[in-house]
Amino acid sequence: MITEQSNVLLQIVNRVRKKRVEKKRCILYARDLRRIKREVTRNTLTSSASIFQKSTLPGVSRSTRCLVLRDVAQLKRQDWAKKYLKTDSSKVLWTDEMRVTLDGPDGWARGWISNGHRAPLWVRRQQVGGGVL
C-alpha cells in the first residue's frame, strides 16, 4: 500500500513535469521534488492537495493531479445527479457518523507515505471503548 501511494505521487509529479517541459520551460526542478518528498515525510497520511499546498509549488492545479472526465463519464454523472435531484430529502437518513469514524472499521486511513517510511501508529477507536455520535 505504501509503495502504491508513493508510485501515484511520482506519477503526479511526472505529469506536472511533462506539462512543464511541453511549455519549453522547466519549473519543477530536483529541488522541488525534494521539497515534495520532505513534506510527505513530515506530514504522513495527508492528501495530495495539502502536500502540494504546503510545499508551495507554483502552479500545480487540480487538473494536473486528476484526470479530466471523458464525455461518457460526464454524461453518466449528470444522469445520476438528475436521477437523485428529485428525491424527497425527508425520506433520506442524514448522519454525521462518518465524521467520527474516519479511520473505518478496519483502522485503514488514506494518505501519502514516503518510500522507506512507515505509517504512524495510533490507537484506533476500536481499541479505546465507546464512541461519540
SS3 32: helix
Q: Give me the sign of the Cα torsion angle 22, 28, 30, 35.
A: negative
- Domain positions in the chain are 2-121
Residuewise pLDDT in 10s, the chain (133 residues)? 566 667 777 787 777 766 554 445 556 678 888 888 888 888 777 777 777 777 777 655 655 556 778 899 999 999 999 988 888 878 876 765 544 444 555 555 556 666 777 766 665 555 555 555 5
Distance CA 71, CA 77 (A): 10
